[in-house]
Structure 1
Amino acid sequence: MSMAGDYVGRFAPSPSGPLHAGSLVAALASFLDARVHGGRWLLRIEDIDETRTVPGAAEDIANALAALDMHSDGPVLVQSQRKHRYQAARDKLGALAYPCGCSRKEIADSRVGTASDGAAIYPGTCRGGLAPGKTARTLRLRVPDAGAEGELVRFDDRWLGPQSQHLAAEAGDFVLQRADGFWAYQLAVVVDDAEQGVTDIVRGADLLDSTARQIYLQRQLGYPTPRYLHLPLLTNATGEKFSKQNGAQALDLARPLDELQRAAGFLGLDTRAAQDRQAFWTLALAGWDTRFGPRR
């Protein structure tokens, strides 16, 4: 466990729209966790997929967090400015990273299974090289064969408990660079967490399935593995994850205390007695410390 002062956490939204109730849950939990461990909390803008970036959204997110009393303890890292760092990590991986010429349809037609997110598991078609007439579309990372050492990745999640994933059977060789040329989330997030010194990751459970791949990638790059805490997801009336893609509305920053209390309530923290934001933070920090604070 991280000692007080050594802890570094982060909140890493995509600038595809304004901060909403679902993203506030992750922001609040990560902020509280950093504070009760006496650590630093960093803001990172995950705009590696520039096709989804909404102009001005990054600034709007930072301003919304500030209006809710959450300020980054260091410079804001912006992924689109760090492509050279992802290229350097790719170079370090050497032959573990290989070009793949398969289209999505070809992968779906020859799938060897289906991942938990519904994606087809890549069958390894291009592991031995591109077939004649094929050109590289993506860059993939080779995972250990089924039953090989390192194929089973285990980790303890601070909310969900012990987790494990068989990479070959449940993920397959995964993409590091997409067909459109953008670096993939899996690579960018691993590089950024390592270079920012992140020790603890608090994020939504929709990213739980990515964790084993990220841990495997950390090991190949010689990076330390952070601790993980995956939060339950806030959902809408139809059971879908609260997201910008599903039409989640921006926070009402004219009523910041109400927004904070709703997010805290979803996390199981009772802050109803708070009449102002100062009292809210006192109650929220005490509640989080009781559940997830450092052992005494």
Structure 2
Amino acid sequence: MGSCVSSPDAGEAGLVAGFLARHGLPGLVDVHTHFMPERVLRKVWAYFDSAGPLTGGEWPITYREAEDRRVARMREFGVVAFTAMLYPHKAGMAEWLNEWGADFARRTAGCLRTATFFPEAGAEAYVRRAVEEGTRVFKAHVQVGAYDPTDALLDPVWGVLAEAGVPVVTHCGSGPAPGKHTGPGPMERVLARHPRLRLIVAHMGMPEYTEFLDLAERYREVRLDTTMAFTDFVERQSPFPRGELGRLVDLGDRVLLGSDFPNIPYPYVHQLESIERLGLGEEWVRAVCYRNGAELFGL
């Protein structure tokens, strides 16, 4: 597949504006962006720089910038709502990250208050508290956390989220490199117990695209985000099966824009171009990039 990646430069905001104008969009709702404490983010970037085993290879960070500049980028790109995806890799981190996420949302217009959790004693209590205090979305990273989502300590957590109707963006697919508990099986077992859970499968579930589409068809509240899917970077290693494009159209109200900003190895606009070039129609693009997220979060 030929590359149509645009270079990141001072004109990128104009390219995004052109995309919005072409599709008659008032802005973008991006459900998968990362803002986190500076020391945590620097460790994440260092991991990417080292081409650690979970990245699957070299992964240059395009937007290695100060927090205020990254927030300004969201404004420049017309992102009217975005998240602060946080995730712990061990016990004892989640509550502290949630406190930071709450403060970040308070001081950052457009940020949907984001929280996370880990299988540990007290998880149900701090998740319930986060919901009651106004958290709009949660992040669960099965790959990095290396935990089983069916862990008994998490069962009441999924129950709280399902009851409250608060979405949880979950990296549960086995891309870019498989983890101990990744793949559709564990999340299918979670959904069997909590069928009303508003699960947002990160990265379209890559590389198990078909299996996660199956879950979305089986469970009405399952959604998928586009994060890195369809881009040249991912298509080289985990191409989305073209035979499944019709199912994306059928599930058009449950596919959400996600980007992984700032931790992406290409310009932000390339994610938008990659969605556009699928050729699934104007209504589908508008729904994915704005309407579905706006409806889910009541914007």
TM-score (norm 2): 0.32
| Structure richer in strand, relative to its length | 1
| Structure richer in helix, relative to its length | 2
Structure number with larger C-alpha Rg: 1
